[in-house]
């Protein structure tokens, strides 16, 4: 039995690609630096291991934890038994004063709530803290109704709205502070001072993907209309490139893992920091026995902003894949989105990526607010034009169709002209009436079929179409779209997409 000040856990369900999430390791390092004792547990990874042991049970539990629904309500006993077994493991190995639960997305809420409720029933002296972006259910601009309800019911003791490193120390030391049970959190502006994540509790042999996460910036230099990240972070802040590279070099030597994934909204948000970072890593990789590699989300920048030397260093620094928010092949659509790059910028970008053999993953939004049929065809033509680059293109991420959340520019700027029609996915726009939900599904189907004909691969196809089939059944029956109803089991049976 290990006694500690705080136990920090991740909870299901998060699809992390079979690698450890960063938050517990970061928070563990922060509190240890200040003299507290801490342990971490990856309950999310433990859950995903069940898939190899009992696929049927895994699917049933996953559906319930993510969506809150069961086809057979008599199986709820299995849900309770699984959570109880997790609690047994926790309490048999640790005796913490505080249990901090990282709620990564809203899809982690159900498990987190059941876990906290049952722990309180067995060990009321353990103080429970919830934190993470998953505290809000309808986007960053939504309320903290869920954690407030749990706190009022005595299921949790605290919730931390943001900047957990600072707020958690205030909580452990003073029991209160900005961002603790309130939304008045203070943003850190000097990211070079953060400590490197502590993965000492993780057995990396237990993970198939040998990769560590790293954060170089918080916030975003863009204000894309469909995104709400700029409403959360008060300003865009970033680490020096030397600091980022040093963490990667230090952590790779310490843990024997040489591949990194950036959590940043944009790796190249600051070109000054980016150039520092790739310069240091490129030099390091020249003589390193184990070269460092990395991937992350990236802005398309024109050749004047990101020149040939930048590209050479990008390749030599170990860049393996750049996740590009292309969204549309139409300049008019991208201009409305405030993406701020032209077709010429994109063409030059892809030329350099191909020349340097740096892979790119295109993120696409089908059915954006002002997308006309002509705009849609321009996206297909873009992919036709880029078939010559397929060697460096990872599976295209087409998603489902555009959903409109409160707090996004699409909603705040056009709310008087948008009707949601019972769901964030069912919207119609006054100035583009032909683009209803049926038309958006049609375009999404055509998009995939045409890209497959061109030789592209599509990521998450079955999962995305499952969700669209579910949404269509809700929509055509004039029901309200709610996340707790989304049991998609069986929707693909005997179905054809077109």
- The CA dihedral of 368, 369, 372, 378, to the nearest 10 degrees, is -30
What percent of the chain lies above the pLDDT cut of 90? 70
CB 217 within 8 A of CB 237: yes
Give the pLDDT of residue 481. 66
Cα distance between residue 103 and residue 121, in whole Å: 21
How far apart are the C-alpha atoms of 74 and 78, rounded to whole Å?
9
Q: What is the pLDDT of residue 319?
A: 98
* Interior angle at CA 209, CA 207 and CA 212, nearest 5: 95
Q: Residue 48: name the closest of 9, 22, 76, 15 by CA.
A: 15
- Mean pLDDT for all residues in the chain: 90
Give 258-290 pLDDT, tens digit per residue: 999 999 999 999 999 999 999 999 999 999 999
Beta strands in 58-166 (DSSP E): 94-102, 127-131, 158-160
Per-residue pLDDT of the chain (498 residues; tens, 9 = 90+): 789 999 999 999 988 768 888 999 999 999 999 999 999 999 999 999 999 999 999 989 998 898 776 666 677 889 999 999 999 999 999 999 999 999 988 889 999 999 999 999 988 899 999 998 888 765 544 578 999 999 999 999 999 987 778 889 989 998 888 889 887 767 777 777 889 999 999 999 999 899 999 999 988 888 889 987 766 677 888 899 999 999 999 999 999 999 999 999 999 999 999 999 999 999 999 999 999 999 999 999 999 999 999 999 999 999 999 999 999 999 999 999 999 999 999 999 999 999 999 999 999 999 999 999 999 999 999 999 999 999 999 999 999 999 998 778 999 899 999 999 988 899 999 999 999 999 999 999 999 999 999 999 999 999 899 889 988 988 888 766 654 333 334 333 333 333
Cα–Cα distance for residue pair 345/304, rounded to 1 Å? 9
d(CA 118, CA 127): 13
DSSP structure string for 366-379: SS-TT--HHHHHHH
Q: CA-CA distance, 382 to 350, in Å (whole number)?
A: 12
pLDDT single digits (tens) 187-226:
777 777 889 999 999 999 999 899 999 999 988 888 889 9
What is the CA angle 475-478-481, rounded to 5? 60
What is the pLDDT, as a whole number, of residue 400? 92
Would you say 316 and 285 are in contact if contact means Cβ atoms under 8 Å apart? yes
* pLDDT at site 476: 87
8 Å CB contact between 112 and 103: yes
* Complete domains list, the chain, with CATH: 2-174 (3.40.50.280), 210-364 (3.20.20.70), 375-498 (no CATH)
Q: What is the pLDDT of residues 280-331, one digit of tens each?
A: 999 999 999 999 999 999 999 999 999 999 999 999 999 999 999 999 999 9
Helix (H) / strand (E) element for 13: namely none
User: Distance (Å, rounded) from C-alpha 29 to C-alpha 227?
Assistant: 31
List all residues 6 or more positions away from 339 whose beta carbon is below 8 Å from its beta carbon.
222, 224, 300, 325, 327
What pLDDT does 93 receive?
A: 94
């Amino acid at each position: 039995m290990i006694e500690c000040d705080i136990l920090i856990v991740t909870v299901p369900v998060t699809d992390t690609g079979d690698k450890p999430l960063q938050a517990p390791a970061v928070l563990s390092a922060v509190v240890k630096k200040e003299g507290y004792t801490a342990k971490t547990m990856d309950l999310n990874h433990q859950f995903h291991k069940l898939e190899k042991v009992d696929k049927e049970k895994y699917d049933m539990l996953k559906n319930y934890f993510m969506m809150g629904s069961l086809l057979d309500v008599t199986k709820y006993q299995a849900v309770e038994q699984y959570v109880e077994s997790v609690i047994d493991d926790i309490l048999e190995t640790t005796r913490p004063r505080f249990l901090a639960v990282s709620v990564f997305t809203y899809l982690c809420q159900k498990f987190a709530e059941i876990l906290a409720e049952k722990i309180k029933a067995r060990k009321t002296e353990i103080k429970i803290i919830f934190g993470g972006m998953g505290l809000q259910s309808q986007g960053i601009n939504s309320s903290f109704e869920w954690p407030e309800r749990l706190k009022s019911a005595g299921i949790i003791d605290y919730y931390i709205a943001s900047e957990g490193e600072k707020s958690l120390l205030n909580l452990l030391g003073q029991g209160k502070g900005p961002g603790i049970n309130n939304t008045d959190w203070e943003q850190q502006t000097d990211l070079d001072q953060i400590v490197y994540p502590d993965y000492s509790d993780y057995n990396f042999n237990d993970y198939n993907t040998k990769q560590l996460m790293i954060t170089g910036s918080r916030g975003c230099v863009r204000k894309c209309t469909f995104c709400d990240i700029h409403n959360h972070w008060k300003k865009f802040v970033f680490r020096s490139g030397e600091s980022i590279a040093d963490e990667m070099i230090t952590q790779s030597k310490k843990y024997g893992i040489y591949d990194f994934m950036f959590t940043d909204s944009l790796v190249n948000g600051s070109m000054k920091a980016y150039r520092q970072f790739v310069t240091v890593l490129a030099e390091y990789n020249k003589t390193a026995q184990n070269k460092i590699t990395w991937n992350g989300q990236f802005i398309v920048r024109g050749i004047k902003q990101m020149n040939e030397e930048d590209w050479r260093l990008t390749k030599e620094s170990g860049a393996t894949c750049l996740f590009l928010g292309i969204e549309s092949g139409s300049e008019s659509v991208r201009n409305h989105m405030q993406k701020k790059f032209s077709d010429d910028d994109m063409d030059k970008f892809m030329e350099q990526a191909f020349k340097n053999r740096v892979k790119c993953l295109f993120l696409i939004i089908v059915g954006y607010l002002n997308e006309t049929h002509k705009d849609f065809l321009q996206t297909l033509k873009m992919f036709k034009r880029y078939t010559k680059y397929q060697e460096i293109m990872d599976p295209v991420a087409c998603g489902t169709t555009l959903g409109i959340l409160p707090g996004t520019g699409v909603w705040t700027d056009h709310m008087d002209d948008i009707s949601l029609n019972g769901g964030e996915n069912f919207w119609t726009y006054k100035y583009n009436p032909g683009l209803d939900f049926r038309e958006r599904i049609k375009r999404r189907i055509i998009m995939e079929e045409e890209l497959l004909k061109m030789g592209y691969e599509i990521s998450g196809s079955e999962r995305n179409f499952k969700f669209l089939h579910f949404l269509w059944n809700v929509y055509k029956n004039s029901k309200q779209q709610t996340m707790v109803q989304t049991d998609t089991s069986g929707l693909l049976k005997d179905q054809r997409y077109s």
